[in-house]
Amino acid sequence: MQASQDQPISSEAPLQLLLFVDGRPKSRQQVQRIRAYLKELQADYKFELQIVDVGQQPYLAEHFKLVATPALIKIHPEPRHVLAGSNIITQLKSWWPRWQAAVDAYVKLQTDLQENTEDNGRNASSSKSSIRSVALSAELLHLSDEIFRLKQEKEQLEEQLQFKDRVIAMLAHDLRNPLTATAIAIETLQSNYNPDKAGFERLTPTTTTNLFKQARNQTRIIDRMITDLLQAGRNNEREFPVKPQKTNLGQLCLDVLEELSDRYAAKSLKVEKDIPKDLPQVYADPERIRQVLINLLDNAIKYTPEGGTISVAGLHRTTQKVQFSIGDTGPGIPEENRDRIFENHFRLERDESKEGYGIGLCLCQRIIRAHYGQIWVDSSPSNGAWFHFTLPVYM
């Protein structure tokens, strides 16, 4: 605590006061008047006064549960008494005689105890230790807050370390498939390439084209996985970068379906498309929305059993918004988890054995929100899942 520089402190004074001040220009004159009035009182009645700047020691203000400053507190003798507001001097004029009477009664009691008991050391020192006790309590409060803050930081660091370990394990598992497929395609092309003829032996043009396409698609998958991981580490949603422009959402979806055609064809999935030709273009970042479509379609392919159906639909909801929906005939999302699946790293128990990091839907939500849209999930008529999102119409 900061002691008043213009008033002497008497360690023997039983009356102890704290004056809480702040740095606001409006309160300076009021504080000056209070200090001047207290100085006049101190000429006739000795007491100990200490000045506390709440800007420098906010924990003392919290200790006394102050809601306004300036504030004058009688901390000794007990009971504690707080005067606050714009009329502290008026209140002090009313309470000062009562404080004096309380101090006189306290001093008389201390004198009687000293005369009638031998154990007077502890009683005699109670007045001197009062302000020090307040400072100690405030320091303990400060340390308690620091411990709580450090505990939170520790938990966040532990969570980050756990996520890092989980991602490393998943990377080792998930990257193996596209890397293997890419390596097989490249090795096949390389082993059949004849530099003398500048062509591929034993490979038809169609097979050669498909191998190049497979290698290209698999490298895109690897790139998407790495991009998703990097973006998942960005915690500030307001800084999520988007570059909106006039975008044909229907054509963008058809392009993504073509890119993923090998995957849904391998499971003999049927794709139903209901994208109106007059669907208006949207104002969106095509690369970001492409990420959303890939994530949603990738999940639909992953969870739809062989021979199932994936549905893609567009709807012009209002003059300002377009809704796009992707459905499947998979197991669906339990109603109690439909909000949580958009949390970072959240995965259903049944999905623990599936490929993925549990971050795709969180990224989708962040991208759509960055476009001032909405994304949600509900059940499809076939008990699967329907994911919907909205985007603004390009005006």
pLDDT at res. 130 = 60
Q: Are 283 and 246 in contact (CB under 8 A)?
A: yes
Look up the CATH number of the domain holding residue 357.
3.30.565.10
pLDDT at res. 78 = 81
Pairing of strands 282-284, 321-328: unpaired
Domain annotation covers residue 166: no
Looking at the structure, tell me whether residues 338 and 361 fall in a common domain: yes
Domain end: 142, 165, 191, which one?
A: 142
pLDDT at res. 166 = 61
Helix (H/G/I), strand (E/B), else coil: 17: strand
Looking at the structure, tell me whether residues 84 and 202 fall in a common domain: no
pLDDT at res. 154 = 87
| Residue 19, burial from CB neighbour count under 10 angstroms (0-12, 13-18, 19+) | buried
Look up the CATH number of the domain holding residue 10.
3.40.30.10
pTM: 0.49
pLDDT at res. 282 = 96
Cα-to-chain-centroid distance, residue 8: 50
Q: What is the mean pLDDT of each run of 10 residues along the chain (395 residues)?
A: 42 78 84 90 86 82 80 86 88 90 83 65 49 62 73 81 65 68 85 73 81 82 70 54 91 91 89 93 92 89 92 90 93 77 57 50 86 89 86 91
Domain end: 232, 259, 278, which one?
A: 232
Range of the domain at 355: 237-392
Looking at the structure, tell me whether residues 138 and 282 fall in a common domain: no
pLDDT at res. 236 = 47
The contacts of residue 336 (CB under 8 Å, 6+ apart) are: none
CB atoms < 10 A from the CB of 363, how many?
Answer: 23
Calculated CA dihedral for residues 173, 175, 178, 180, nearest 10 degrees: -70
Domain count, the chain: 3
Looking at the structure, tell me whether residues 380 and 309 fall in a common domain: yes
Paired tokens of 337: 């988890």
Paired tokens of 42: 């101190």
Half-sphere exposure of 117 (CA within 13 A, CB side): 12
